[in-house]
Each structure stands twice: as C-alpha cells, then as structure tokens.
Amino acid sequence: MSDTTKLPALIGALDRASEWFGRSLAWLIITMMLIQFAIVLLRYVFSVNSIFMQELVMYMHASVFMLAAAYTFRHDGHVRVDIFYRGMSPRRQALINVVGILMLLMPVMVFIIASSLGYVANSWRILESSPDHGGIPAVFALKTLIPLFALLMIVQGVIEVVRNGYILAGRIAPPDADDDHLEERL
C-alpha cells in the first residue's frame, strides 16, 4: 500500500486506523475457530448443546465480514472485473477508482445507511433479543453492523479518493503490484 505519510494528516491517520482495525479483526477469526471447536467437542463428546455459543460464532462471523470490508477495500481485495483496468496506466486506474468510488460506492453506502436506520432503530427500541431460549439477547447490536459497515466503507472510500487524487496529481507514487504481493507473503 502507498505511503500514508504523504497523505493529509487526518486521511493518513484514518488510513492507519483502518489498517490497525482490519488486522485486529483477524484475532476474532481465531477466537471464532476456537469457539467452534469447543461447540463441536461439547456436542459430540459430551452431548451438550449451547445455543449461546452457536450464536456467538454467528455474531463474530458477521462482525468480521461486515467490519473487515473496508480493510479488504483498502487492500484492493474485493472482486473486480478488470478486463481493461489491469492494462491501464496507474493514473488512468486512479481516475477509474475515483469515478467508481464517487459514482457507485458512495451512493450505495448512503442508500444502505438510509434504508437500514429505521430497521436498526426499531431493533434498539425493543432491545431485540434472540428468539431462541439461551441465545444472545443482543440482536439489536448485530443489526447495528449494517450501517456501521456502510459508514466504514464511506470512510475508506474517502481515503481512497484522496489517495487516488494524489496519484493523479503526481504527489504520491501508485502502489506497485509486486510490493502488494511481497507484503502478503510476509
């Protein structure tokens, strides 16, 4: 990923926070695997079932999926149909990125927030809980991930617009694909 020290201070700080947050979510995956292992062990060795633990895995999976989307976006990890994009110059790619973020990502994320706020607010109003006995009494918190996901994507979208704007202006070098692959191997 490109050097965040050359970005404006606030944008650089948000970019570093996005990186830290995304990496921190990886620990949730390990925790989720351990709890899933415990569920299987309890069920098949001790014939004990725990709705709470099963829902906990579901909540953690939803949290990782929804909250790490911005981190994945930061690292260009989402599926992209790049029939022409890959062959373009870095400046043209930056232009396509800016247009795509402003014309596609931002409107969709604003729509998600606008359409989910009532749904989430109703859930908070009644403090919606699990319909299953022994389940997690916090469905309202789970539903809150929907607008939070969109908000994090908007923040990352702003960061990417600035980063790509700086690439267009020649103020920072475009990320080198070889550096990204080297970073993945470390």
What CA–CA distance (Å, rounded) separates 42 from 53?
Answer: 11
pLDDT for the residue numbered 185? 40
* pLDDT > 90? residue 83: no
| 8 Å CB contact between 134 and 178 | no
Under 8 Å CB-to-CB from 115, ≥6 apart: which residues? none
Q: Assign 4 a pLDDT band (cuts: 50, 70, 90).
A: low
Under 8 Å CB-to-CB from 129, ≥6 apart: which residues? 135, 136, 137, 138, 139, 140
pLDDT for the residue numbered 128? 97
Tally DSSP H helices, then E strands, for the chain: 7, 0
* pLDDT > 80? residue 135: yes
Quick one: average pLDDT of 93-109? 96
pLDDT for the residue numbered 182? 43
**How does the average pLDDT of the chain come out, rounded?**
91
Lookup result for tokens 């695997």: 33
**Single-letter residue type at 136:** I
| 8 Å CB contact between 33 and 53 | no
Q: What tens digit of pLDDT does each residue of 32-72 get?
A: 999 999 999 999 999 999 999 999 999 999 999 999 999 99
| 8 Å CB contact between 172 and 163 | yes
Q: How many CB atoms lie within 10 A of CB 99?
A: 12
What CA–CA distance (Å, rounded) separates 139 from 119?
Answer: 12
**Single-letter residue type at 46:** F
Q: What tens digit of pLDDT does each residue of 104-128 get?
A: 999 999 999 999 999 999 999 999 9
Q: What tens digit of pLDDT does each residue of 13-29 get?
A: 999 999 999 999 999 99
pLDDT for the residue numbered 184? 47
What CA–CA distance (Å, rounded) separates 165 from 153?
Answer: 18
Burial letters for 104-117: b for 16+ Cβ neighbours within 10 Å, e otherwise? Answer: ebbeebeebbeebe
pLDDT for the residue numbered 86? 84
Q: Assign 3 a pLDDT band (cuts: 50, 70, 90).
A: low
* pLDDT > 90? residue 93: yes
Q: Where are the alpha helices (DSSP H) in 1-48?
A: 9-46
